[in-house]
Amino acid sequence: MKKYIAALSTTALISVTPHALASSTDLTVTGTITPVACTPSLSNGGIVDNGKISAKDLNPTRDTLVGKHPLQLTATCDAPLLFALNPIDNQAGTSSSLTWFGLGLTDAGEKLGWVRIDVTNTIADGVAAHAIDSEDDGKTWSRTWVSSPGYLLSVGSATDTSTPIATQVLTMDFEVQTNIARAESLTLTDEVALNGSVTFEMKYL
């Protein structure tokens, strides 16, 4: 009986005060279509081959650096444009380091290691510049020497690394470092393939 009375009381309140309960919110859709486009590319087809690595050469208790390879990233635009590169780790969740890109898993589900991409030189339209990155989707920027998962990568001038500059042709020299997790954490009774993969996606600012 008490539940029935409570239900009636609620209905009565709704019927006499509809305007007090009414509210709204707006959705706004924005964006810009630009006639200018950029195309990124990597030297050597973006392939880093560390060759055959003997399990006995891996450090049992520490990560082992097994290769340093140069690559050059080039982004060519139709005209000067503000843009960034979004590095996507296609092996997310497999890195044995919290900071860097993954190398895939062993058949036993163990994290093989990690890949670090250092930025050793940056040229914007033929002029020396600096690599900059942003961890908050482009709200703030600072100088960087690496490309990291979750950080937008762009270019700032030699005198101002807090703001991206419009660029038509950007080149960045990379050094790709491959590191294998400590051997004692891996099952290495059979051959294991390293499977690191990173996509650099264009993002227009």
Indicate the fold that domain 2-204 takes in CATH.
Immunoglobulin-like (2.60.40)
Q: What is the pLDDT of residue 24?
A: 81
Number of other residues whose CB lies within 10 A of the CB of residue 116: 19
User: What per-residue confidence (pLDDT) applies to 22?
Assistant: 65
Helix (H) or strand (E) holding 2: helix 2-16
**Sequence ranges of the domains in the chain:** 2-204
Structure token digits, residue 90: 């296609």
Each residue's pLDDT tens digit in the chain (205 positions)? 333 333 433 334 444 455 556 678 788 686 666 667 899 999 999 999 999 999 999 999 999 999 999 999 999 999 999 999 999 999 999 999 999 999 999 999 999 999 999 999 999 999 999 999 999 999 999 999 999 999 999 999 999 999 999 999 999 999 999 999 999 999 998 999 999 999 999 999 9
Q: How far is CA 196 from CA 91, 93, 133, 187, in A?
A: 6, 12, 22, 18
Residue 30: predicted pLDDT: 63
The pTM (predicted TM-score) of the whole model is 0.82
